Structure 1
Amino acid sequence: MADTGYPWKVVWITGASGAICGEIARRLAAKGVKVAATARPSERLDALAASSPNIAAFPADVLKPDELKTCAAKVEAELGQIDLALFGAGMYVPFDIRNIDLDGFRKTMALNVDGVINGVAAVLPNMLERRAGHLAIMGSLFGYAGWPGNGSYGASKAAVINIAESLKLELRGTGVDLTLISPGFVDTPLNAAYDPKKKLFVMKKERCARKILAKLPKRPYEIAFPIQVEGFLKTVRDMPRFASFPVVRWFIKATGA
């Protein structure tokens, strides 16, 4: 196989019909990487697969563990062992304290959290057995600190961050690496319902994909951006709460976020 410029021959991506993961899939395929694109059946998934001979659609529901395990096995049977698994299925639902969307909260937690661990369970045993592999989990900087209107999404990503930290500790010495990807606001349909005036340092999907793929081959624990949002939210997280809450309120008032 020709050198792709990346350390992976086969990459499995869940949530592949989404904006960020779809862009990553296209960029990998353009370099000759075989990409297994997984999402629920849709025209977007079909269009992604049709965009490159190096992208193949493997439809599956990440909320169905057995279906996802069967999907991963099919990918390896048809394309070869999965070198990198990127778990990117996710959703955002606005959180209004005056009218809490309980159904939206449950769906967000299920897709953003269960969808990740179901994917990990589908590929990790084989990676551990061959002592090689790379897991990449899509988190969010907004999982590091509470933020108004973000109760559902932020809670789900906080859980994802904890999962990633726990896995990283346990994977030491196994030959399997893990990377947590923590973007801030990206201009995608996922957060289209969020007030545009409150999106801090919003980034285009193309730039987001470029930043991820520039760093992911080095297998860092975390890829986080933009630096301004990362710095602020992680500083707030580390502050005592009697100080952090006033700081967040001041920042929101000062910036209109």
Structure 2
Amino acid sequence: MRVLITGLEGFTGRYLRDELVGHGHEVVGLQADLTDAAALAAEVKRVQPDCVAHLAGIAFVGHGEANDFYRVNLMGTRNLLAALADCGKRPDCVLLASSANVYGNGTAGVLSEDAPLKPANDYAVSKAAMEHMARLWLDRLPIVIVRPFNYTGVGQSEMFLLPKIVALFKRRAGVIELGNLDVWRDFSDVRAVAEAYRRLLEAGPAGETVNVCSGRTHSLREALALCERLTGHVMAVRVNPAFVRANEVRSLCGDPSRLRALIGDWDTPPLQETLGWMLSEAVP
């Protein structure tokens, strides 16, 4: 397949490119700006993709300008869908990356795709709005919406918590400042996420909304303890009130059963293995 990836040079895009190329597919990156509807339409018409993986967007919850979430994550996605619908070739699958943040502050049990959406910040609201908007195009495009829970790996920005923690352990820092240590997250490995996306693109289950998650949670305290065990290094931990978000999602755990029903057996490596991989990379 010829697969158009938006956000090809981003963290996830690079791993998805390697995953797709490794399985014989051709990968093309998007050159146009998502917010430039005319340039985007021309680019899509030229590429004529068989499949699309839409990964581009503003993904850092703490991004300072709220309007950017809506301009890029919502309207940029609408521009892309309009371009695909009018490009003269119906793709086999259009995978749109949403986020498990759309579930909000749900702490009870494991969240399936049928859990109510209660987004608790502008990033999550922009993704929930994107999902609703995308469903207006289901009669014209074979859309699959993925809701990835937290995932990490080599190359993720240190703006995100696990890469920040890993970087400080690698530098043998004496102290780390964090926000709430008692948040629980369902962590996956970016390589496993890329595999799931590739298999969904190949299967093309149009109209589905799919969690991409492990079904297991770890607290930040556990992540720190794993890094201590892997490195033999101990850091003092200081809670910085400036890093504690008022609307923090306390617990996010996903149910991966629909994903496995659609693509077959799939799992992500244990968090310890992912952290070991990240810690083994040379300090830049």
The normalised TM-score by structure 1 is 0.63
The equivalent of 1:189 in structure 2 is 157
* Structure 1 residues 131 and 113: alpha-carbon distance in aligned structure 2, compared to 1, 3 A threshold: closer
Q: Secondary structure at the match of 1:181?
A: strand
| Other structure's SS at 1:123 match | helix
Gaps of 5+ in 1: 1-8, 39-58, 76-80, 96-100, 230-248
Q: Which residue of 1 aligns with 2:81?
A: 120
CA contact (8 A) 2:3 2:50 kept: yes
Question: Does the aligned pair in 2 maintain the 1:93–1:105 contact within 8 Å?
Answer: no
Q: What does residue range 166-205 of structure 1 map to in structure 2 within 5 Å?
A: 166-168=136-138, 170-171=139-140, 176-187=141-152, 188-189=156-157, 192=160, 197=181, 198=183, 200-205=185-190
Asked whether the 8 Å contact 1:13–1:86 carries over to 2, the reply is yes
2:39 aligned to which of 59, 67, 71: 67
* Residue 234 of structure 1: aligned partner: none
Bigger helix share? 1
Asked if the contact 2:151–2:190 (Cα under 8 Å) also holds between the matched residues in 1, the reply is yes
Kept in 2: contact 1:25–1:37 (CA 8 A): no
The TM-score normalised by the length of structure 2 is 0.57
- 3-state SS, counterpart of residue 250 of structure 2: helix
Shift of 1:214: 2.5
Contact 1:89 1:115 in 2 (8 A): no
8 Å contact kept, 1:85–1:134: yes
What's 1:134 paired with? 93
Q: 1:201 to 1:72 in 2, by over 3 A?
A: same
Task: Provide structure 2 residue ranges, at least 5 long, that are not aligned to the other structure.
Answer: 107-117, 163-178, 217-246, 254-284
Deviations 1:179-205 (A, max 9, x none): 001101122339616969436022221
Q: Deviations over 1:206-242 (max 9, x none)?
A: 111112223332222123121538xxxxxxxxxxxxx
Which shifted more, 184-193 or 211-220? 184-193
Equivalent residue for 2:13?
A: 21
Q: How many Å separate the matches in 2 of 1:190 and 1:15?
A: 18
- Aligned pair partner of 2:65 in 86, 104, 111: 104
CA contact (8 A) 1:183 1:224 kept: yes
8 Å CA contact retained: 1:91, 1:190: no
1:20, CA displacement in angstroms? 1.3
C-alpha deviation, 1:146, in angstroms: 5.2
SS of 1:86's equivalent? strand
- CA deviations 1:152-171 (Å, max 9, x no partner) are 21111111221233323x34
Pick aligned residue for 2:103 from 123, 144, 161: 144
* Partner residue of 1:160 out of 123, 130, 140: 130
Q: Give, in whole Å, the separation in 2 of the partners of 1:113 and 1:14.
A: 14
CA contact (8 A) 1:61 1:67 kept: yes
Partner Cα separation in structure 2 for residue 199 and residue 65 of structure 1: 39
- In structure 1, C-alpha distance between the alignment counterparts of 2:142 and 2:102, rounded to whole Å: 21
Q: Distance in 1 between matches of 2:82 and 2:158?
A: 25
Q: CA deviation at 1:111?
A: 1.4
Task: Return the alpha-carbon distance in structure 2 between the equivalents of residues 130 and 71 of structure 1.
Answer: 13
Among residues 81, 91, 100, which one is paired with 2:58 in the alignment? 91
Contact 1:11 1:86 in 2 (8 A): yes
Task: Report how many residues are paired.
Answer: 189
CA distance in 2, matches of 1:193, 1:69: 36
Q: Which residue of 1 aligns with 2:199?
A: 214
Identity of aligned residues (%): 18
One-letter code of the match for 1:111?
V
Tell which deviates more after alignment, 14-23 or 146-155. Answer: 146-155
Deviation at 1:60, TM superposition (A): 1.9
Is the 1:63–1:110 Cα contact (8 Å) retained in structure 2?
yes
Deviation of 1:131 after TM superposition, in Å, equals 5.2
- Aligned amino acid, residue 223 of structure 1: V
